[in-house]
Amino acid sequence: METRFATLGARGIRIVIFWLTVILVVAVDQATKAAMLVKLQDGPKPFIPGVLDLVLVHNTGAAFSFGEGGGIFFVLVALVFLVGSVFVVWNEPDLPVSLVIPIGLVAGGGTGNMIDRLMEGSVIDFLSTSFMNFPVFNVADICVTVGIALVIIGYLRWDRMRESDSASQNKSVSRGGFGHV
Catalytic residues: 125, 141
Query: Is 103:18 a contact under the CB 8 Å cutoff?
Result: yes
The 10 Å Cβ neighbour count of residue 91 is 9
Q: Write out the DSSP string of 16-54.
A: HHHHHHHHHHHHHHHHHHHHHHHHTTT--EEEETTTEEE
| CA–CA dist 34, 109 (Å, integer) | 15
Chain centroid, CA 30 distance in Å? 15
The 10 Å Cβ neighbour count of residue 136 is 20
